[in-house]
Amino acid sequence: MTTGLCTDERFRAHVPPWEHPEKPERLAAIERALDEAGLPARMVRVAARPATRVELERVHGRAYLDELEATLANPPGNGSGWLDADTYFSRGTWVATLLAAGSTVEVATRVAAGELDNGLALVRPPGHHATGDQAMGFCLINNVAVAAAALEADGKRVAIFDWDVHHGNGTEAIFDANPRVLYVSTHEWPQYPGTGAAHHTGVGAGVGTKVNVPLRKGTDGPAYLEAYDRWVKPAIEAFEPDVILVSAGFDAHRDDPLGGLKLTEETYDTTLRHLLSVQPRLMMVLEGGYDLGAIARSTVRCAKTLLGDP
């Protein structure tokens, strides 16, 4: 298998002003674990690049982007601050944010074009809570949505599967009325941000292309896979996507401090293998995951699966 890998030192320049779960050490732990497993040498390096304004404006409003750039490109005061109660910025945030979105697009488009069989974009800040005009939940630009919109503009049918412990309210809202983008989410319920009820299936022309699978706190791997087989599997298979994008948050892992689900590396592996059987053209983009050991082990396991290891 030809598996693309994109990560960059500049993603670590997004630095919290004080202790925060979404921190540069997350990416450092993943990269160290990948190196120890000898995986980067088996993968195709994809250079990080910033998203263009055209790519960003497919999903985010001009006024929001203008305001975000004005704040982040020349940050006030000591160079750090808060966009909301959860979402910080620092002097390196604007560059990291543009690179996170652009790199996700780059890997996704190369996979869609067949230059890569599949890919892994290890980026930060994460993105799936960012709506078209609002930063929230540690997220500023919706990376997976920017990539999905780029693929849709190229005529592709895109399925987004979000296995983060939190519902990707921003991604769903951006594509809620769009029938050419399937959004499927498994998430703990109730949990931040309070969206993702099972009865919500989209709006307007998008009804039926949004699938929410809320799970009770304490749901373990076998119960998760049972829910996956019942709700997620048939939805993705019926949609027949040209590309699958995985919003890969690892905070549903049993060791994560912010989540209440009890998944393991084996759960992610089984899920990913089914997705690849439906559509091998698949890319993963990092979202949440706040236990450094769990996020590192889970990413290594998924990278090996992408590479075709048994």
Q: How far is CA 234 from CA 156, 209, 221, 238, 274, in A?
A: 20, 12, 19, 6, 11
The length of the chain is 310
Q: Which of 14, 60, 128, 129 is catalytic?
A: 129
Reported as type and span, the H/E element at residue 167 is none
- 3-class SS string, 228-271: HHHHHHHHHHHHCCCEEEEEECCCCECCCCCCCCEECHHHHHHH
Strand partners, 139: 136
Question: What Cα–Cα distance (Å) separates residue 174 from each residue in 33, 65, 100, 144, 151?
Answer: 34, 15, 18, 11, 15
Give yes or no: 129 in active site. Answer: yes
CB 130 within 8 A of CB 136: yes
- Which two three-digit tokens encode residue 200? 């919500």
Q: Which amino acid is at 233?
A: K
Residue type, 75: P
How far apart CA 77 and CA 268 sit, in angstroms, is: 42
* DSSP conformation letters of 184-210: EEEEESS-TT----TT---SGGGTTSE
Contacts of 12 (CB under 8 A, 6+ apart): 24, 27, 28, 92, 96, 124
- The four Cα atoms 252, 253, 256, 259 give a dihedral, to 10 degrees, of 20
Active site residues: 129
